[in-house]
Structures are given as C-alpha cells and as structure tokens.
Amino acid sequence: MTMTKLATTSILAAMAALTLTATFVEARDRGRGGPDLEQIFERFDANADGQITQAEIDGAAETRFAEFDANGDGMVSEEEYTAEASQRAAERAAERFASLDADGDGMLSRDVLEARRGGQRVERMFNRLDANDDGAVTMEEAQAAMERFRERRGRN
C-alpha cells in the first residue's frame, strides 16, 4: 500500500469513527441521554437491509469527508473544516430552537431557556449543596457533597 493510499485509508477510518461518534453525541445533545438506534440505522444502513456493514460505515465516512472537502482536493483545510463545523452547528441550533419554540412565534422566553438548561435541577442541586440553608455554598459544603456523591457511587 502506498503512503498516499495508507494516509487516505487512515483518514477515512478516522472519519468513520468520528461520524459514528458524532451520531451518538448529537443524540445525547438532543436530550435523549443516549443514541437513538433508529437514527443510527437510518444514517448508516445505506441499503436499508436492517444491518450496518463496515462498507456502509466507510461509505458514510467518505461522504462526511467530502462534506468537509469543499474544493474536492482530497484535503481539508482549516477554512473548510471551520465552515462545515459552523454550518452544522447552525443547523443543530436552528433545530433546537424550533423544538423549544412551542408556539412558533420565533421567540423564546427566559423560562424556556432556563428550563432547557435544567433550571429546576440547578436549583435542587444548589439546595443540596447548601447544607446549612444560608443561601450560599462554601467550599466545605461542596467538598462534603462531593464526598457523599463518591460514597454513593462506591468511589473513594
């Protein structure tokens, strides 16, 4: 195998791994806590036979690389990389916005955004950390809470 072919194969293998990882991350970021297997199969099972083969993963990696390689020269420049990453981030942000904009008015209230960031969870966590209920969390309270957390998880 020539060095160029080896480099291309290595890049495609890395892109395959990144593509599969990105699918898991996107699923997690959408608040599902884990991968949506239907989405993974939809994305990778190119012939829709209910199986994902290595060839299909490699094909997805090639497609993903081509999306980054805007000028088709077989290399991805920093500009191409950041442009593709920015486009995908903008698409994901638009999808998230649309899912939060329940009434479709193109506006999000503070309550909606705080709920998205786990507003009540943050408040509950703060209250757990504030052991003496004085409205402030000290380093000692935080360390004690961390120790309780570790003990519950069986870690020292």
- Under DSSP, the state recorded for 45 is -
Mean pLDDT for the chain overall: 77
Structure tokens at 73: 């020269």
The 10s digit of each residue's pLDDT in 54-104 is 888 888 888 888 988 999 999 999 999 999 989 989 998 898 888 888 888
Domain residue ranges in the chain: 3-104, 119-152
Give the pLDDT confidence score for residue 83 in this predicted structure.
92
Give the pLDDT confidence score for residue 79 in this predicted structure.
94
> If you average pLDDT over residues 104-129, what whole number do you get?
74
Q: Select the more confidently predicted residue: 21 or 58.
A: 58
pLDDT band at 4 (very low <50, low <70, confident <90, very high): low
Q: Select the more confidently predicted residue: 5 or 128.
A: 128
